[in-house]
């Protein structure tokens, strides 16, 4: 694998899930593969899980790891083309990415969307510029529109914990006080639409995701109905796709609680990519109770990253 930016870069999804589960069983089986290879993890935005799990995965494969919080520690980056750099930016992404490529065998990049200009965000211009200019394989650590390492870990978690061949998986919108990207729900939807699951998306009016990610899903604005007999419920906030980046008030009752689960989905396992705002997005009674699998899910981020990096190392 030379690029991991979406599920479309994966030739065999079940095989990749199997490799993640194999890595979980025997973490150091391939620790010769990464010998004398360097991965650079470049963050334009904050991270806890993606940073630590990808670093751990790379170390399990024997790689050297460089982490650069370029937003805080690097020169101010110019991301636009055809501008005279007489303002606050010091270095253009063209040179910066090319230089990072000189020091790395693989590069990971995190760059969130601005949530102002939909066309710009959905063209993935920042991520694509890294890919173009660094000239080494690139793995997405969450881009403007997708978070594929998260989605792979989510699918691994569902495969591990499911108790029936074709579980019902529900993605439910949750309240938040900030405008958050659509990357996590877009990506989760895109992976679930390719998995052997019954997939339902539920959100308030006005929060429909771009259809390019939801083809094959059942979509409803009735949360109670969507939750009915769910095996897995994936909780996530996102801002509107149309009008882009908008947040509307008055949807506080979309927060999932044990009362709702007792009524509609008593056996459901509750997932969230984290970080989560307690008692705003998801009730603490769920997070602290037996239905939550969020820590297990976060643990699986290591094995998802390890499966992807293994395939990238094999293709170097
Ligand atoms: C980010 C998001 O929603 O995309 C990262 C999630 C992994 N979350 C926040 O900004 C809170
Ligand atoms: N879920 C996730 O990607 O978390 P971080 O933003 O902490 O990396």
Residue 273 Cβ contacting ligand 1 at under 6 Å: yes
Name the band, by pLDDT with cuts 50, 70 and 90, for residue 152: very high
- Would you state the pLDDT for residue 7? 98
Q: Of ligand 1's atoms, which has the minimum distance to the CA of residue 277?
A: 11
Cα dihedral 12→197→193→5 (10° resolution): -50
Hey, which CATH number is domain 3-146+301-315, 3.40.50.460, 3.40.50.1370, 1.10.357.10, 1.20.120.160? 3.40.50.1370
CB of 141 closer than 6 A to ligand 1?
Answer: no
CB-ligand 1 contact for 144 (6 Å cutoff)? no
Q: For position 158, what pLDDT does the model report?
A: 98
pLDDT tens, residue by residue, 234-293 = 999 999 999 999 999 999 999 999 999 999 999 999 999 999 999 999 999 999 999 999
Counting ligand 1 atoms within 8 A of each CB, the residue from 180, 276, 278, 298 with the most, and so the one to mutate, is: 180
pLDDT of residue 212: 98
Q: Counting atoms of ligand 2 from 1, which one is nearest the CA of 147?
A: 3
51 CA closest ligand 2 atom index:
8
Average pLDDT (33-57) is 98
Q: Determine whether the shortest distance from the Cβ of 185 to ligand 1 is under 6 A.
A: no
Pair of tokens at residue 123 = 């063209």
**Residue 163 confidence (pLDDT):** 98
Q: Relative to the CA of 50, which ligand 1 atom is closest?
A: 7
> How far does residue 213's CA lie from ligand 1's centre (Å)?
18
CATH number, span 150-298: 3.40.50.1370
226 CB within 6 A, ligand 1: no
Enumerate the domain spans of the chain.
3-146+301-315, 150-298
pLDDT in tens, 97-151: 999 999 999 999 999 999 999 999 999 999 999 999 999 999 999 999 999 999 9
Best of 184, 236, 274, 301 for a ligand 1 pocket test (most atoms within 8 Å of beta carbon): 184
- What does the pLDDT read at residue 68? 97
Q: Do domains 3-146+301-315 and 150-298 have the same CATH topology?
A: yes
Q: Using alpha carbons only, give the angle 202, 207, 213 rounded to the nearest 5 degrees.
A: 75
Find residue 68's DSSP bridge partners: 42
Residues linked to residue 107 through DSSP beta bridges, in sequence order? 40, 138
Q: What is the predicted pLDDT for the residue at 223?
A: 98
Q: How far is the CA of 162 from the centre of ligand 2 (A)?
A: 24
End-to-end Cα spacing for the chain: 9
Name the average pLDDT for the chain: 98
The SS3 call for residue 48 is coil
Secondary structure E strands in the chain: 3-4, 38-43, 64-69, 77-78, 91-92, 106-110, 138-140, 168-173, 198-202, 218-220, 232-236, 269-271
Structure confidence by residue, pLDDT tens digits, 56-100: 999 999 999 999 999 999 999 999 999 999 999 999 999 999 999
pLDDT band at 14 (very low <50, low <70, confident <90, very high): very high
């Amino acid at each position: 694998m030379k690029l991991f930016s979406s599920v479309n870069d994966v030739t065999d999804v079940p095989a990749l899930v199997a490799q993640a589960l194999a890595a979980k069983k025997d973490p150091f089986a391939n620790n010769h593969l990464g010998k004398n290879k360097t991965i650079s993890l470049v963050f334009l935005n904050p991270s806890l899980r993606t940073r630590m799990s990808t670093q751990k995965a790379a170390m399990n494969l024997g790689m050297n790891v460089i982490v650069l919080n370029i937003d805080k520690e690097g020169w101010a980056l110019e991301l636009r083309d055809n501008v005279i750099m007489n303002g606050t930016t010091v270095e253009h992404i063209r040179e910066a990415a090319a230089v990072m490529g000189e020091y790395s065998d693989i590069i990971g990049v995190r760059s969130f969307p601005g949530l102002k200009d939909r066309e710009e965000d959905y063209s993935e211009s920042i991520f694509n510029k890294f890919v173009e200019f660094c000239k080494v394989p690139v793995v997405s650590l969450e881009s403007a529109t997708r978070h594929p390492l998260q989605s792979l870990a989510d699918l691994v978690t569902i495969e591990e914990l499911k108790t029936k061949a074709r579980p019902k998986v529900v993605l439910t919108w949750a309240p938040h006080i900030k405008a958050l990207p659509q990357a996590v729900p877009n990506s989760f939807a895109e992976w679930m639409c390719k998995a052997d699951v019954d997939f339902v998306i539920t959100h308030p009016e006005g929060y429909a995701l771009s259809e390019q990610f939801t083809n094959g899903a059942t979509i409803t604005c009735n949360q109670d109905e969507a939750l009915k007999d769910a095996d897995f419920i994936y909780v996530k906030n996102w801002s509107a796709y149309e009008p882009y980046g908008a947040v509307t008030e008055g949807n506080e009752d979309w927060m999932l609680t044990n009362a709702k689960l007792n009524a509609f989905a008593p056996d459901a396992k509750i997932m969230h990519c984290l970080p989560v705002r307690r008692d705003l997005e998801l009730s603490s009674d769920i997070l602290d109770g037996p239905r939550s699998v969020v820590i297990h899910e976060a643990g699986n981020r290591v094995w998802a990253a390890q499966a992807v990096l293994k395939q990238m190392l094999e293709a170097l």
